[in-house]
Amino acid sequence: MSNQTVQTVSTSNDKFKVALAVVAAIAGVVGFFYLKGQNKPALMCAGALVAGLAFAVLLLWTSATGREFLSFAKEAVRETKKVVWPTRKEATQITMIVFAFVLVMALFLWGTDKVLEFLLYDLILGWKQ
């Protein structure tokens, strides 16, 4: 037996939910800035933003696309927990190595530029600067 994955096609209902969720999120952001421009209390502005985003999340949660995204996000968090982060000492040492390499490369490129400038302008073209 072959082990093939089957991709489902989202229905127009799911596409409508996603579009409506985008509109709800935009409406929340617009409502936040509109209320802020009217000098309303910060709690009211934040409430408009949170309400729009919460409604958008609820709409996405009911669609197949939203459930797939939620599954992807959970998997991403699970993979992030597997990462072995460097210690402070290791991070500092690596940073210093990068800075040293950048300094050496800058000096090399500056030197190369000056040598080519000397060869081109002074020896080949005869222009004295």
Digit-coded pLDDT (tens) for 69-123: 889 989 999 999 999 989 999 999 999 999 999 999 999 999 999 999 999 988 8
Mean pLDDT for 40-55 is 91
Contact 52/25 with Cβ under 8 angstroms?
A: yes
Domain ranges for the chain:
12-81, 86-129
- Whether this prediction's pTM lies above 0.75 is answered by no
pLDDT of residue 10: 58
